[in-house]
Amino acid sequence: MDLVFSIDLAPRIGLAVSSHCAHNCCTYTVRSAQCRSSPDFLMLVLIMFRPQQIGNLMVHNLAGKTAVVTGAAKGIGFAIAQRFSDVGANVIVADLDGEAATAAAGRLPNAIAVTCDVRDEEQVQALVDTAVNTYGGLHVMVPNAGVATVSPITELDLAGWRNVMSVNLDGVFLSIRYAAPAIVAAGGGTIVSLGSITALAGTPLIGAYAASKAAVVNLTKTAAVELRDHGVRVNAVVPGFVETELVTSQVQVFEQALGLPGGGFRGLIEQKQGRFGTVSEVADAVMFLAGDESTFCSGSSLVLDGGLDAGLF
């Protein structure tokens, strides 16, 4: 059962609370806790929470659970891994770049790094096995790893198409394929895939990426139906354009292809969705779908796009 305390109440029930801030979270340690109304009260409670929740101290339902995040060395993936770490979950930071994964995991408590190419079936299976063998089970899988190629369809070669599909779609399939049985064995849990707003409409220059994400959204729905009776919820987060290296590294290519002046792409984003999304906003959505706040939600696509998909202009 979740333990909830008001900071204002803590001194009155004999709790000495000290705070520490790291990254974008706050950690509160309840020391020498002696509750006057309950002598058997916990002697030590470590509680992690977001700053917006500072009015209440909560033990998150994912504390002590285990989550795997692929493509987690940077960007959206690292933000997601950090969120899980913030609430006390064990985190496996998986990435093709093993050195970067190790550095990222080193910034988080209760995290380990695993080098993993999500296109490789044996490596994905080994990733899940590592989570189970290290922490005793797997409760959350977030297949986040993804790549993009900017090119008109008529100029995109088959090798480029297949590379995007192998990472973005095969990687999600393999993650679900091997994570699902482990999550069932652990008593149930969640899978949260990463789609894209490009899955919902035609998007010039990134046809392979958009097609792969559309397939991910559909695969997510199918997995949700198949796994519902086994205690596994499967949902997708569908972000609009988020300010990550994957997007910003291609801005000049977009501007040239679309005939936009320098800075024109940002102006286009501001017109269509108000602003770029942030990695923290995506991570918050993943946490919502992974946690107990969304227990009746499965097979859904949570769109985060500033209204991009809602209007014609």
Q: Which sequence positions are flagged as catalytic?
A: 209
CA distances from 272 to 76, 152, 307 (A): 21, 21, 8
Residue 135 gets the label, from left (phi > 0), alpha (psi -120 to 50) or beta, of alpha
Long-range contacts for 26-33 (Cβ within 8 Å, ≥24 apart)? 26/50, 26/51, 26/54, 28/57, 30/5, 30/57
Beta pairing class for 111-115 and 90-95: parallel
Partners of 95 in the β-ladder: 115
Tell me how many degrees the CA angle 89-93-99 measures, rounded to the nearest 5. Answer: 145
CA distances from 119 to 70, 104, 163, 181 (A): 11, 21, 9, 19
Q: CA-CA-CA-CA torsion for 16, 24, 196, 285, nearest 10 degrees? A: 20
Contacts of 296 (CB under 8 A, 6+ apart): none
Partners of 50 in the β-ladder: none
Distance CA 87, CA 287 (A): 10
Contacts of 216 (CB under 8 A, 6+ apart): 168, 169, 172, 193, 194, 195, 199, 236
Number of other CB atoms surrounding residue 35 within 10 Å: 13
Residues 213, 143: contact at Cβ < 8 Å?
no
